């Protein structure tokens, strides 16, 4: 499984073996996409300058790397982290023409991420036309936030055009919450009643978000 995490100026990738638990075979990132000092940085510490004028070119570098290491032919599927799924996309789904078209319409809501992510989906489709691709949405985790939290202080007519709060970094929050529950003792969980558990979680990358979480599993 190849995982692809497209940011506004970077692409992180990892290749996992089909084992239990998953074993990471190769991982790295391409940073400073669109700039003269773009670089490929591998988890091993290897770093080299690359020419990556856009996200499609960055993905081509990743695929070339996998091919050079004899790993591209082993990829059975690819999973993309998609920053914005709008109001409709709440579950991981296989990428098809209809989804690509819908995400293209949503690019107005996230012009810093969606165009690059769509370009990588298209580039991978052209390079590996028979490879299944799947999209997982950052906004899905926050889909159940209360309506009061969704609303922006603007005229309600703009909500019909999709202008509201959606929440971000949802995949990271979902992972952190799952890991948190895994390290809690059974007795502690029973005493605290996770159905009413309230948390505040912070995720920091190039940008940062804070999310209050009600009920232990829902974005609020």
Q: How many domains does the chain have?
A: 2
Choose the catalytic residue: 36, 54, 112, 138: 138
Angle between helices 114-127 and 55-68 (to 10 degrees): 40
Residue 58 DSSP one-character state: H
Token pair for residue 16? Answer: 């996992």
Residues 43, 127, 83, CA angle at the centre, nearest 5°? 60
The answer to whether residue 158 is domain-embedded is: no
Place of tokens 């999973």: 79
Whether residues 16 and 93 fall in one domain: yes
Provide the domain limits for residue 39.
2-141
Length of the chain: 220
Whether residues 207 and 131 fall in one domain: no
Whether residues 121 and 186 fall in one domain: no
Q: Are 143 and 92 in contact (CB under 8 A)?
A: no
pLDDT tens profile 46-88:
999 999 999 999 999 999 999 999 999 999 999 999 988 888 8
Whether residues 135 and 80 fall in one domain: yes
Asked whether the whole model's pTM tops 0.85, one would answer no
| pLDDT value at residue 30 | 98
Average pLDDT over residues 97-112: 92
112 flagged as catalytic: no
* CA dihedral (197, 199, 205, 207) positive or negative: positive
The answer to whether residue 164 is domain-embedded is: no
Q: Secondary structure of the chain: what % helix, strand, coil (to 5)?
A: 35, 25, 40
Specify the pairing of strand 133-137 against strand 78-82. parallel
First-to-last CA distance in the chain? 31
- Give the end of a domain, one of 98, 122, 141: 141
Whether residues 16 and 110 fall in one domain: yes
> 204 or 70, which is more confident?
70
Whether residues 37 and 117 fall in one domain: yes
């Amino acid at each position: 499984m190849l995982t692809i995490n497209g940011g506004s100026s970077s692409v992180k990738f990892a290749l996992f073996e089909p084992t239990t638990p998953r074993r990471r075979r190769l991982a790295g990132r391409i940073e400073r996409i669109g700039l003269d000092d773009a670089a490929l940085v591998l988890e091993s510490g290897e770093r080299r300058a690359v020419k990556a004028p856009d996200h499609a070119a960055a993905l081509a570098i990743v695929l070339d790397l996998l091919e050079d290491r004899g790993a591209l032919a082993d990829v059975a599927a690819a999973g993309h982290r998609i920053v914005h799924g709008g109001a409709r996309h709440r579950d991981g789904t296989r990428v098809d023409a209809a989804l690509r078209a819908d995400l293209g319409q949503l690019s107005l809501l996230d012009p810093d991420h969606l165009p690059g992510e769509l370009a990588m989906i298209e580039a991978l489709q052209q390079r590996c036309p028979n490879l299944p691709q799947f999209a997982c949405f950052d906004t899905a985790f926050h889909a159940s936030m209360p309506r009061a939290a969704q609303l922006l202080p603007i005229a309600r007519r703009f909500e019909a055009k999709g202008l509201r709060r959606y929440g971000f970094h949802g995949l990271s929050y979902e992972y952190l919450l799952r890991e948190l529950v895994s390290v809690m003792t059974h007795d502690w969980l029973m005493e605290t009643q996770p159905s009413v558990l309230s948390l505040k979680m912070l995720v920091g990358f190039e940008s940062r978000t804070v999310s209050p979480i009600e009920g232990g599993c829902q974005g609020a």
